């Protein structure tokens, strides 16, 4: 029984993460660096937000600190090495597709801004939101090469010219 569970976990861990399918190594590191910087900015801005008497600012600050912890947990689990479940959460986050990470990170960054629209929440969540945007751009994929794009445009132009010629011949 334990042998089959070990084989299943070995095959699951040998499968490449879903996000690595179309990302280059430098773009993957750019996304991770952006996530870590977003976590730092969220944590610092969240602390500044909590130093107030307005309850909505405090709620936004607590949410931003939570965002910072989640970003660090997903993007840099070595920063949370004393949290027992950090590696498990990081592995699950690595299995998510790029568009799923984009929606998750952008959604997490928008909530504090909706709770309390201040300059601190906007600037604090900007890098975390940018991390989501970077993952979203990677989900769109690479843009096409210029040769195939020019070929498609030429085919469309020829088809339009043929249709125009047919309509002109039909009118005469």
User: What count of Cα atoms within 13 Å lies in the side-chain half-sphere of residue 143?
Assistant: 4
Is the per-residue pLDDT at 6 higher than 70?
no
pLDDT band at 152 (very low <50, low <70, confident <90, very high): confident
Is the per-residue pLDDT at 95 higher than 60?
yes
pLDDT of residue 8: 41
pLDDT of residue 12: 42
pLDDT band at 172 (very low <50, low <70, confident <90, very high): low
pLDDT of residue 20: 52
Q: What is the mean pLDDT of the chain?
A: 81
Written in H, E and C, the secondary structure of the chain is: CHHHHHHHHHHHHHCCCHHHCCCCHHHHHHHHHHHHHHHHHHHHHHHHHHCCCCHHHHHHHHHHHHHHHHHHHHHCHHHHCCCCCHHHHHHHHHHCCHHHHHHHHHHHHHHHHHHCCCHHHHHHHHHHHHHHHHHHHHHHCCCCCHHHHHHHHHHHHHHHHHHHHHHHHHHC
pLDDT of residue 13: 44
Of 11, 58, 62, 67, the closest CA to residue 36 belongs to 67
* Rounded mean pLDDT, 110-128: 92
pLDDT of residue 138: 86
Is the per-residue pLDDT at 120 higher than 50?
yes
Higher pLDDT, 23 or 116: 116
Residue in the structure block whose two tokens are 């179309």: 22
Is the per-residue pLDDT at 32 higher than 80?
yes
Of 169, 33, 20, 7, the closest CA to residue 97 belongs to 20
Is the per-residue pLDDT at 29 higher than 60?
yes
pLDDT band at 1 (very low <50, low <70, confident <90, very high): very low
Contact 71, 34 (CB under 8 A): no
């Amino acid at each position: 029984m334990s042998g089959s569970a070990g084989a299943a976990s070995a095959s699951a861990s040998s499968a490449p993460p879903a996000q690595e399918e179309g990302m280059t190594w430098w773009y993957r590191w750019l996304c991770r660096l952006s996530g870590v910087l977003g976590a730092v900015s969220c944590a610092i801005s969240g602390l500044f937000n909590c130093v107030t008497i307005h309850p909505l600012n405090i709620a936004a600050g607590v949410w931003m600190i939570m965002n910072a912890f989640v970003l660090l947990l997903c993007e840099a689990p070595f920063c949370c090495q004393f949290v027992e479940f950090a590696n498990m959460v990081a592995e699950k986050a690595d299995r998510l597709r790029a568009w799923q990470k984009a929606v998750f990170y952008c959604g997490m960054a928008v909530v504090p801004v909706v709770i309390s629209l201040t300059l601190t929440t906007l600037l604090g969540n900007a890098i975390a939101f940018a991390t989501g945007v970077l993952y979203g751009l990677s989900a769109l994929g690479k843009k096409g090469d210029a040769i195939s794009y020019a070929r498609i445009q030429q085919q469309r132009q020829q088809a339009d010219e043929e249709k125009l010629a047919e309509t002109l011949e039909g009118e005469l």
